[in-house]
Amino acid sequence: MSDEALSADHETRAAERPEDPAPTPEANLDALESLRDIVFGKRLEQLEVLRDRVGRLKVTLAELHASADQRDAAAARELAERIAATDALGARLDELQARATRIESEARTALAEGADAAEALARRVDAAEALAERVEGEGGLAERIEHVERLTDRVDDIERLAQRVQDIDRLDERLATVEPVRERVVDEDLRAEDVGAVLPRAVAARARKDGQLAASLRPTIEDTLEASVRRNPQALVDIIFPVLGPAIRKMIGSAITSMVGSINRAVESSFTIRGLKWRMQAWRTKRSYAEIALMHGLVYRVEELFLIQRGSGLLLAHASRGPESEEPEVISGMLTAITDFVRDSFDVEQGSEVETFRVGDLTLVVKGGSKAVLAATVRGVPPPALHDRLQTSIEEVHRDYGRQIDAFDGDMESLAGVEALLEPNLLEEAKGRKKRGPASLVFWVLLAVVAATAVTSLVTNRMRAARVERDVRQLARTLQAEPGIVVTDVHEGDERWIVEGLRDPLAADPEELRAKSAVDGEDVELRMGAYRSLEPVFVQRRLLDRLSVPDTVRATWRDRTLVLTGPVYSAWIRTALQAVADVPEVDGVDISGLTPDPALDALLVSRAVLIAQRVPVDTPVTDELIASVREQVEGARTTAGERFAVELQVITLLPRAEDEPKARAQAATVVRLLERAGIQSTEVFRSPADLARPKPDDLMPAGDSPEIRFDLTVRLAEGGR
């Protein structure tokens, strides 16, 4: 409010009280002061009290600040540790956060209420101010206003104070929630429980991340193991014995294998007499050469096996080959006493064992396990493989009978069956025969090889020869059985077998029959002369070939009779009858089924018989004659063309019966020569009776002397009909 305004206000108020006498300034001042005292006295007292409280609160606040800061810091530290320690606590802190937010909002509400109170106070101050202005003159007003302003500042301070108090309350609440967390952090049992709950997951998570965990744990684990082993080495021995034994054996085994391999390579190139002998043995026994070589140096026999309880020396089991010791328990005890004695008497490494005793050619091989010892008496030189075997055996005993051995009370029955594990170790490698002189050995071997080869060869040859003869004779029988083939002789030639005989050209090919048989082509020669077989099958085939049966006619056989059926031109019937009559092996021809077909006869109009030549039977068959006939046949064929067939008949005309042999021979020669010249012909004979009854075809009469006539018959070709 400006001074003018205030002044104006004052005047107005003065004007509203006209009845008041005009006071003196002193009296006014006094009155004002007393009024001030009355009006503000109480207020000032209150403000004084407030000031004191503010002062005290300030101190408290500072202390609280310090302590809260301290506690905050501690709590924060603990919280940080806690958060790092567990995810669960982190969640709880979130919850705390939520609660804090809630409290804050509550505080804000409280503050709003405080503000309302302050506002009310301000209103009252305003009223007081108004009153003061009304009472007070212009001079003291500024001072009072200043005073009131100071008061207003104090009220602001109080407001801030209230806020701080709220803050403190909030901190207290937060501290209350932090307390259980602190407890969990401070209490070692609870902390251990919490850490235990997440430890496996934490370890796994860390191990996945990197190798830091393993690196950190390594020294501790190593120290622990070392301490444990130092304190009770037997426990570790018990644990690793079944594992370590096979592992070491495997390693040694592979080392030996590679050594055997190198020995093999080394000796493989050595060709001594002994080497050859061993090589043969290796070949015979299907073992490696090196193995055989080793075996010859290592002949031995395991005589007895003792399974002995470690420590007490009591006999757990006993196995032997042949006569056994009378008192194996005594040997078992003594053996234990001796090995104990040796071990106790000499400065040997912890866990070392006596492994071998040797007296003359007797060797005692001892293989120890954690609970029992296996001792074998061996006659001769035990091979390294035996050591491995015995070691495996004692490991098996531990594996299968470890508990029974621990509980052994002197009753061997309780370990029944353990002998079965031991007995396979009763091995024996017999010594070979007395060594022969190397030269003698080679001689015998060579002699045996030569003799065996000779005998084998002889026997093989003899067997083969016998087999060939058997096969050739079988082939001869097969050929003989074949129609149209006649075997006349089978004999052994200089280099091969020879089969001689005759063959009809229509018969099966003997070479093909040979190929189907077991006989090799080089082992046999087939010498076959030609002949005409009178077997019906061949006679019939030849007859039908010569008849050139028209395709309207069907020819079948009834025993030795030719049965012809079907339509035919009438002239062919005569041809057929003639042809059949010429073959003595055929009984006859049944032409009852043949029906002369006029249509077919009509076709024969075009048939013509040309007399190509006629010569006396006495006339020599010359090349000129054949060539002349051939020329005429070919000329006729050319003239006739494809539609006509030209057939040549060699007709022997026999006016006198006594001329027949000579005439027939002549005719056969002519036919053969014509055949050779590429002309097929058919032979026809005209007996004296035939000539007495001339046929329509006989265009020229027969003379008095026998003669051969060459008839060319031209008719429509079969395809042309």
d(CA 504, CA 510): 11
Q: Give the largest CA-CA distance in the chain.
A: 220
Measured from the CB of residue 387, what is the shortest distance to another protein in angstroms?
A: 25
- Name beta bridge partners: 561: 558, 588
Q: Which is nearer to another protein, 422 or 712 (CB)?
A: 422
Measured from the CB of residue 346, what is the shortest distance to another protein in angstroms?
A: 13
Nearest residue to 185 (alpha-carbon basis) of 174, 194, 196, 176: 194
Q: Which is nearer to another protein, 214 or 330 (CB)?
A: 330
Q: Return the H-helix or E-strand segment holding 616.
A: strand 608-616
Assign 3-class secondary structure to 291-314: HHHHHHHCCEEEEEEEEEECCCCC
Which residue has tokens 């080497």?
275
Measured from the CB of residue 232, what is the shortest distance to another protein in angstroms?
A: 17
Measured from the CB of residue 207, what is the shortest distance to another protein in angstroms?
A: 45
Size (the chain), residues: 721
d(CA 59, CA 720): 153
Nearest residue to 355 (alpha-carbon basis) of 330, 335, 370: 335
Nearest residue to 371 (alpha-carbon basis) of 419, 327, 403, 330: 403
Torsion of CA 190, 191, 195, 196, to 10 degrees: -40
- CA distances (Å), 50 to each of 163, 207, 264, 299, 500, in order? 16, 64, 113, 119, 161
Q: Which is nearer to another protein, 422 or 648 (CB)?
A: 422
Q: Which is nearer to another protein, 119 or 327 (CB)?
A: 327
Q: Which is nearer to another protein, 352 or 606 (CB)?
A: 352
Q: Which is nearer to another protein, 406 or 642 (CB)?
A: 406
d(CA 702, CA 688): 10
Measured from the CB of residue 329, what is the shortest distance to another protein in angstroms?
A: 5
Per CB under 8 A, residues contacting another protein are 309, 311-315, 327, 329-330, 332-334, 337-338, 340-341, 344, 409-413
Measured from the CB of residue 391, what is the shortest distance to another protein in angstroms?
A: 23
| Residue 562 and residue 543 in contact, taking contact as beta carbons nearer than 8 Å | yes
Measured from the CB of residue 310, what is the shortest distance to another protein in angstroms?
A: 8
d(CA 177, CA 156): 32
- 3-state SS, residue 351: coil
Assign 3-class secondary structure to 209-272: HCCHHHHHHHHHHHHHHHHHHHHCHHHHHHHHHHHHHHHHHHHHHHHHHHHHHHHHHHHHCCCC
Measured from the CB of residue 283, what is the shortest distance to another protein in angstroms?
A: 51
Measured from the CB of residue 274, what is the shortest distance to another protein in angstroms?
A: 47
| Residue 263 and residue 237 in contact, taking contact as beta carbons nearer than 8 Å | no
Q: Which is nearer to another protein, 210 or 413 (CB)?
A: 413
Measured from the CB of residue 372, what is the shortest distance to another protein in angstroms?
A: 12
Q: Which is nearer to another protein, 330 or 420 (CB)?
A: 330
Measured from the CB of residue 361, what is the shortest distance to another protein in angstroms?
A: 25
Measured from the CB of residue 407, what is the shortest distance to another protein in angstroms?
A: 12
d(CA 277, CA 271): 10
- 3-state SS, residue 62: helix
Q: Which is nearer to another protein, 347 or 411 (CB)?
A: 411
Q: Which is nearer to another protein, 311 or 483 (CB)?
A: 311
Measured from the CB of residue 345, what is the shortest distance to another protein in angstroms?
A: 8
Nearest residue to 390 (alpha-carbon basis) of 298, 320, 302, 316: 302
Going by DSSP bridges, is the β-strand pair 315-320/300-309 parallel, antiparallel, or unpaired?
Answer: antiparallel
Q: Which is nearer to another protein, 94 or 340 (CB)?
A: 340
Q: Which is nearer to another protein, 299 or 338 (CB)?
A: 338
Q: Which is nearer to another protein, 343 or 546 (CB)?
A: 343
- 3-state SS, residue 389: helix
* Residue 401: how many other CB atoms lie within 10 Å: 21
Cα dihedral 652, 656, 657, 663 sign: negative
Task: Please enumerate in sequence order all residues whose Cβ is within 8 A of that of 669, keeping only pairs 6 or more positions apart, or say none.
Answer: 621
Measured from the CB of residue 312, what is the shortest distance to another protein in angstroms?
A: 2
**Which amino acid, one-letter code, is at 684?**
V
Q: Return the H-helix or E-strand segment holding 701.
A: none
Measured from the CB of residue 179, what is the shortest distance to another protein in angstroms?
A: 59
- Name beta bridge partners: 366: 375
Q: Which is nearer to another protein, 331 or 615 (CB)?
A: 331
- 3-state SS, residue 565: strand
Q: Which is nearer to another protein, 341 or 444 (CB)?
A: 341
- Name beta bridge partners: 684: 651
Measured from the CB of residue 371, what is the shortest distance to another protein in angstroms?
A: 11
d(CA 319, CA 304): 6
* Residue 313: how many other CB atoms lie within 10 Å: 20
Measured from the CB of residue 448, what is the shortest distance to another protein in angstroms?
A: 57
Q: Which is nearer to another protein, 414 or 552 (CB)?
A: 414
Phi, psi of 431 (to 5 degrees): -70, 145
Nearest residue to 98 (alpha-carbon basis) of 207, 173, 160, 195: 173
Q: Which is nearer to another protein, 285 or 312 (CB)?
A: 312
